[in-house]
Amino acid sequence: MKTKTKVGTVEFSCPVLPASGCFGYGIELAQYYDMSALGGIVTKAVTMDERPGNGMPRIAETPSGLLNAIGLENPGVEFFLDVLLAQIKRFQLPIIVNLAGKKLKDYVSLAEKMLDPQIAALELNLSCPNVKTGCMSIGTNAREIKRLVSAVRKVTDKAIWVKLTPNVTDITEMAKAAESAGADAVSLINTLVGMTIDLEARKPVLKNNTGGLSGPAIMPVALRMVSECYRAIEIPIVGMGGIATAEDALAFLMAGASAIQVGSSTLVDPDLLFSLGDKMAQRASELGFGSLSEVCGSLEYWD
């Protein structure tokens, strides 16, 4: 079965991508897995300066998901470009660089630096809930999204994917803002803000007090948002949130995603990410589809 997919102008051999932050830069996993099983690489968020991230504990397990407050730990853009990018390029896959900043000008400066031809797209992280400025505070305001994406659009020819937060009343308003400013795709969803409590300590478990919920618990929310956006915008959608099986991934395609990303499940079972493309193809064929791209948007609504 054909597994090729396109997100705007970017072509992928299969629709399976790692979700930012759950895969590092792929360098460690490449020692154990054949990276060609993936459609591309999505990096951990890259910021202008090196960031140590939030204090510990910054990860907590909940009954059906993971709560994290990493706080965008990363070595900064210069180290990314000077050291990491060459190693990621060895996988010979399209690279999507996840960019995060405190202000509009950080995103513009970061985008200006992403010149390498193997960088296929810039995924603007307007959705991290674990930092005090930037990211989600921009991504919850349609006017700010439009302002930021328009500014980045002016300085780059790379495809722009806008990663949206589910922590809003109407995600289609945010997706439309991104589209109207020249985004090539939207990625959704990032994590849902949550809290978990240590009764004996009478304190939140996470040092940041709150964190972002990911994993199986959030999949119904993510599917609903992909389906809403698919009907509201013309640009493609990259779907994620709780994918743990081939059926989950196909549900995202059916709801309208052109490609999918797998995050938390990779931390539980890295095998999944690398076998998912084949498993999706097999399951799609059992369901009567001739190709994976045929699954995209094939959901039939009751009314």
If binding is defined by CB under 6 A, does position 262 make contact with ligand FMN? yes
97 binds ligand FMN (CB under 6 A): no
State the Cα torsion 279-285-287-288 to the nearest 10°.
170
Does position 21 interact with ligand FMN (CB under 6 A)? The reply is: yes
| Candidate list 70, 136, 171, 276; residue touching ligand FMN; CB under 6 A | 70
Number of H helices, E strands in the chain: 11, 16
- Residue 22 interacts with ligand FMN (CB under 6 A): yes or no: yes
Is 296 a catalytic site residue?
no
Query: Using the rule CB under 6 A, which residue among 5, 191, 208, 227 binds ligand FMN?
Result: 191
Say if residue 83 is exposed, middle or buried (CB neighbours under 10 Å; 0-12, 13-18, 19+).
exposed
- Quote the distance between the C-alpha of residue 158 and its chain's center: 17
Task: Identify which of residues 254 and 262 has a Cβ nearer to ligand FMN in the complex.
Answer: 262
When asked if residue 125 is in the footprint of ligand FMN (CB under 6 A), the reply is yes
Looking up tokens 């990096």 gives 43
CA dist 63 and 206 (Å) reads 16
CB atoms within 10 A of CB 234: 6
Q: How far apart are the first and last CA of the chain?
A: 31
Site map (CB under 6 A) of ligand FMN, residues 217-236, x = contact = -x------------------
CA-wise closest residue to 60 among 208, 273, 216, 163: 208
For ligand FMN, the closer of residues 225 and 289 by Cβ is 225
* Closer by beta carbon to ligand FMN, 274 or else 289: 274
Q: In what helix (H) or strand (E) does residue 282 lie, and over which residues does it extend?
A: helix 270-286
**Smallest separation, CB 143 to ligand FMN (Å):** 21
**If binding is defined by CB under 6 A, does position 69 make contact with ligand FMN?**
no
Q: Which spans of this chain sit near ligand FMN (rule: CB under 6 A)?
A: 19-22, 44-45, 66, 68, 70, 72, 98, 125, 128, 163, 190-191, 214-215, 218, 240-243, 262-265
